[in-house]
């Protein structure tokens, strides 16, 4: 009988972004523009890399993975948010809510691990350039990429399972614009200490471990760059890392605020989360395009090929 009554709630109501009454049209246009730019930018990056054989290298292989992640990450909550802003149904089914929680932590963890792998790739390229192609061969790259996706799937499955095995038998209004663990477990009809502790520990350990490994990689990279005699050589080595450092900063900043300070004000958390979910996936391809001559060349080549084909 206890198992039958485990989950009574079959749907949730998303209240959306707080303090935005009367601004729905402006927000809809803004978020739609961000979303379309995210899709277009990342699809262009993918197309350019796949079409240009010169970019079939480990660094751009991982960049392709990042573009796929950014498309997925932006698609977790934005379509439902756009529907809510159009005054359509704010209701999300239990399965839809579970999907949002799972994919948020699956893709978020994968992106975190991928940034660490990309830092290792830059470390090998700069600190061991003569052995780079031997160390970062395609078998190693495939294992590292697959490892990030598989490991993250287990991470997300554990958190999602713990969240939705709790009984939900009372209020079903989520005071947020999408389903995440902390807003959802507030509605549980049971003690949430375990899931909150596991979420904080699990997410925090993954993020801090990745951040530490990235930091160690860049300490070694900076040390190697300083030993380069040529100023041009130092600039070239540093420029290959600048884009990665920028996207790492954009990713870890919101993560630290949201998951290490769960008691932050709702308005601040919402603003930070929107920045991470909507703005960052759009900025990543811009950062890599504007600061990378090879990618810009591949995009020009792609555009020229399309023009010729016509």
Interacting residues of 4 by C-beta distance below 8 A, sequence separation 6+: none
pTM of the model: 0.87
Position 310 scores a pLDDT of 38
Q: Return the biggest CA–CA distance within the chain.
A: 75
> Tokens for 189?
């009809």
Q: How far apart are CA 18 and CA 187, in angstroms?
A: 18
User: pLDDT above 70 covers what percent of the chain?
Assistant: 90
What residue ranges define each of the domains in the chain, with the CATH number in brackets? 11-304 (1.20.1070.10)
Question: What does residue 93 show for φ and ψ, rounded to 5 degrees?
Answer: -70, 165
CA atoms in the 13 A half-sphere facing the CB of 156 = 22
Whether the per-residue pLDDT at 2 is higher than 60: the answer is no
Asked if the model's pLDDT at residue 112 lies above 60, the reply is yes
Question: In the predicted model, what is the mean pLDDT of residues 78-101?
Answer: 87
Supply the pLDDT for residue 152: 94
Q: What is the mean pLDDT of residues 11-18?
A: 84
């Amino acid at each position: 009988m206890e198992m039958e009554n485990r989950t009574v709630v079959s749907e949730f109501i998303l209240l959306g972004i707080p303090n935005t009454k009367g601004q729905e049209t402006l927000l809809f246009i803004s978020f739609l523009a961000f979303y379309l730019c995210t899709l277009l930018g990342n699809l262009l990056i993918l197309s350019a890399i796949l079409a240009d054989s010169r970019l079939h290298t480990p660094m751009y292989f991982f960049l392709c993975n990042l573009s796929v992640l950014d498309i997925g990450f932006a698609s977790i909550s934005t379509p439902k948010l756009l529907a809510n802003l159009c005054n359509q149904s704010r209701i999300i089914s239990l399965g839809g809510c579970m999907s949002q929680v799972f994919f948020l932590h699956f893709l978020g963890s994968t992106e975190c691990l991928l940034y660490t792998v990309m830092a290792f790739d830059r470390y090998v390229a700069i600190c061991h350039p003569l052995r780079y192609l031997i160390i970062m061969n395609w078998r190693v790259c495939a294992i590292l990429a697959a490892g990030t996706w598989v490991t993250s799937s287990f991470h997300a499955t554990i958190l999602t399972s713990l969240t939705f095995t709790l009984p939900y038998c009372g209020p079903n209004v989520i005071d947020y614009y999408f389903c995440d663990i902390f807003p959802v477990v507030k509605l549980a009809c049971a003690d949430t200490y375990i899931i909150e502790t596991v979420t904080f520990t699990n997410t925090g350990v993954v993020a801090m471990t990745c951040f530490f490994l990235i930091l160690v990689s860049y300490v070694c990279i900076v040390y190697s760059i300083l030993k380069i005699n040529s100023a041009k050589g130092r600039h070239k080595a540093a420029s290959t890392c600048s884009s990665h450092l920028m996207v790492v900063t954009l990713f870890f900043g919101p993560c630290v605020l949201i998951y290490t300070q769960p008691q932050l004000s709702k308005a601040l958390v919402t603003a930070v989360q929107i920045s991470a979910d909507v703005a960052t996936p759009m900025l990543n391809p811009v950062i890599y395009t504007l600061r990378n001559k090879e990618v810009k060349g591949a995009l020009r080549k792609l555009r020229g090929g399309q023009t010729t084909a016509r």
